[in-house]
Amino acid sequence: MANSFNTRVTERTKFAKGLQAGMLMAKQHRGILLLMAGVMRNTGGSQLPKGKDCFNAEKKANDWILLVETMLEWKHWLCSERMDHTVVCHMKGKIKFIMQLLKKIADRKTEKNNGWNMPKFHNILHVWEDILMFGIPLEFDTGSTESGHKITKTAAKTTQRNQETFDLQTAERLVEHRVVDMAMEELNGRPLWEHHDGFSHPVLPE
């Protein structure tokens, strides 16, 4: 394997509610991959999922190790601050290899879905072209501002989901939520003129 595990680990590897509870962000899945690689490389951990068809043979387990570690290496490369033009061009063939690994090892085709026959999977083919045209992926990472959408998403869920009035109703719900927040601060004894100083303030006066 390459130097993926020799670098400083910054991925989140602790999940208080477990891996299957709640909604996980895309960046959190990197930590899940790291945990999977550690468990499957561990002698005791490799024996845990014996009841699963995909892990009941040593050869199949080795295939999953190859897939997970390849995904970690690919992720590490995609997060590079600099990329060599020649290496990016060579990714055209390497990406096809990674996609073939996914289809061969992580078969998700069931009666309820179309397996890997979906737009997101096909879009992987064009990653190298996007990098050449627009730059490294880090230039377009929106993860740091993703949390700012939570309030808007909460307000949007309380609308009628009508296309013609969706934007207006979402804005109205946002204002209403803000007014309620300010009213709660007022009830807690916070002066009106300090509302825009944030939600952390000293001990309230008598």
* Per-residue pLDDT tens digits for 193-204: 665 665 555 555
pLDDT at position 62: 83
- Token pair, residue 42, equals 């561990």
Q: What tens digit of pLDDT does each residue of 42-88 get?
A: 777 666 555 455 555 566 778 888 899 999 999 889 988 899 999 99
On whether both 184 and 160 belong to a single domain, the answer is yes
| Structural element, H or E, at residue 121 | helix 119-123
On whether both 74 and 127 belong to a single domain, the answer is no
Q: What tens digit of pLDDT does each residue of 88-137 get?
A: 999 989 999 999 998 888 877 665 667 788 888 889 999 999 999 999 99
Report d(CA 136, CA 80) in Å as an integer: 8
Report d(CA 69, CA 4) in Å as an integer: 8
Selection from 2, 3, 5, 56 nearest residue 33 by Cα:
5
Domain count, the chain: 3
Domain end among 79, 98, 119: 79
Q: Looking at the domain assignment, is residue 200 inside a domain?
A: no
Domain end among 141, 158, 178: 141
On whether both 66 and 1 belong to a single domain, the answer is yes
Domain end among 115, 141, 167: 141
- Token pair, residue 35, equals 């945990």
Q: Looking at the domain assignment, is residue 73 inside a domain?
A: yes
pLDDT at position 56: 52
Q: Looking at the domain assignment, is residue 199 inside a domain?
A: no
Report d(CA 13, CA 36) in Å as an integer: 10
In one-letter notation, the amino acid at residue 115 is G
On whether both 31 and 75 belong to a single domain, the answer is yes
- Could you give the angle at which helices 58-78 and 85-105 cross, rounded to 10 degrees? 150
Residue 103 belongs to domain spanning: 85-141
